[in-house]
Homo-oligomer: A and B are copies of this chain.
Amino acid sequence: MKIGFVGLGAMGHAMAERLLDAGHELTVHNRTPAKADDLVARGAVFAQTPAQVAAGADVVFSMLFDDATTEFAVFGPEGIAQSLPAGAIHACCSTISLDQAKRLRDGHAKRGQSYASANVLGRPPAAIAGELFVILGGQDETLSRLKSVVTAFGPKIFVAGNDPVQANLAKLSLNFMIMSTIEQMAEVFALNEKAGTLPSTMFEIMTGSFYNAPVHKNYGKLMVEGTYDTPGAPVTLGLKDTEMFLDAGHTYQVPLPYASIARDRFLAAMAAGDSERDFVVLLERVRQDAGLR
């Protein structure tokens, strides 16, 4: 199929590569063109604008940093929506707010264009390995066409619902589960540390028993090792995601006390000068409250 891809950050680049591996005809765009060089060397075409990516494509993926960059790449003067053909699909993979997700859904609908959310779960190494989890939201007909393409990203594909926004909310929810698991483990680590039991011992007990999911292992390991300075995701991003989840709570009128506490921890981390460190650094705020160090 003719596939377009807009946004070649660490995630987007790996996903684009997987599409090439799967044998698709690929056109890409990125603000910094050099990021596309190796893809072009492998046969991809570089387009100067998102609109040019979309022209003639069957499916266009966008994987951008946030609401604003997504809005611009889709509905800006040379955006995807300018040229997305009838019958083609725009599938947005970015983690964005529900308000932005609704703007995408409604903006495409007004233009008679097909749109879906195709949120992905996993960090760049998983993207490279084709082991992302994909959460789709959209009309059945759209998703049925999309599924065969997104299998390139990973073997597990979930459908949240027929409203694209449902996939965005599911994605924000899963990110919230990371943040709240970190707070949960941080409370356990700090308390046991004060009783003389090392975090590494508690980590071994947790992950050796009922708490052995990737969320426990991956983030718990970073916490135990104090790996704060080669951030997979910085505190600022943790805060952004948590606030989007809380905003969803506002939209749907749902109190979310665990999310509020995670938000407070991230604010305290920023106030302590840790904005750019890995967001597992919130452990240090829990330890500080406990008088450790």
The chain A residues found within 8 Å of chain B, CB to CB, are 121, 133, 135, 156, 158-161, 163, 165-166, 169-170, 173-174, 176-178, 180-181, 183-185, 187-188, 190-192, 194-197, 201-202, 204-206, 208-216, 218, 239, 243, 245, 248-250, 252-261, 263-265, 267-268, 270-273, 285-286, 288-291
Bound-state Cα–Cα, A212 to B133, Å: 13
* Residue in B196, B214, B255, B271 whose beta carbon sits within 8 Å of that of A264 in the complex: B255
* A265 (CB) vs chain B CBs: closest residue: B255
* Top 10 closest pairs, chain A to chain B, by CB: A271-B291, A255-B264, A213-B213, A260-B260, A194-B252, A253-B271, A254-B290, A133-B209, A210-B214, A173-B188
Partner of A216 from the list B183, B213, B255 (CB cut-off 8 Å) is B213
Q: A196, A215, A271 — which one has the most chain B CB atoms within 10 A of its CB?
A: A271
Determine if B201 and A255 form an interchain contact, defined as CB atoms under 8 angstroms apart. Answer: no
Residues of chain B within 8 A of A163, CB atoms compared? 195-196
Q: Report Cα–Cα, A172/B195, bound state, in Å.
A: 13
Contact B261 A289 (CB under 8 A): no
Check if B169 sits within 8 Å of A180, measured CB to CB. no
User: Would A195 and B252 be within 8 Å (CB), given that A160-B201, A184-B184, A201-B161 are in contact?
Assistant: yes
Residue of B nearest to A157 (CB): B208
Q: When the two chains form their complex, are residues B213 and A192 in contact, meaning their CB atoms are under 8 A apart?
A: no
Q: From residue A59, how far is it (CB to closest CB) to chain B in Å?
A: 22
Contact of A169 among B135, B191, B213, B243 (CB under 8 A): B191
Residues of B within 8 A of A286 (CB): 255
Contacts of A264 in B (CB 8 A): 255-257, 260, 289
Residues of B within 8 A of A197 (CB): 160-161, 166, 169-170
The answer on a CB contact under 8 Å between B191 and A258 is no
For the complex with contacts A191-B256, A249-B267, 10 further pairs of A-B residues with Cβ separation under 8 Å are A158-B209, A159-B201, A160-B197, A166-B192, A170-B197, A173-B192, A177-B206, A180-B180, A255-B267, A255-B290
Given contacts A196-B161, A197-B161, A252-B191, A174 and B210 within 8 Å (CB-CB): yes
Taking CB atoms, residues of chain B closer than 8 Å to A290 are 252-255, 268, 271
> Distance in Å from the Cβ of A158 to the closest Cβ of chain B?
5
Contact A209 B156 (CB under 8 A): yes
Q: Which residues of B contact A185 (CB under 8 A)?
A: 177
Which of B170, B204, B210, B273 contacts A291 (CB under 8 A)? Answer: B273
Known: A196-B166, A260-B260. A160 touches B255 (CB 8 A): no
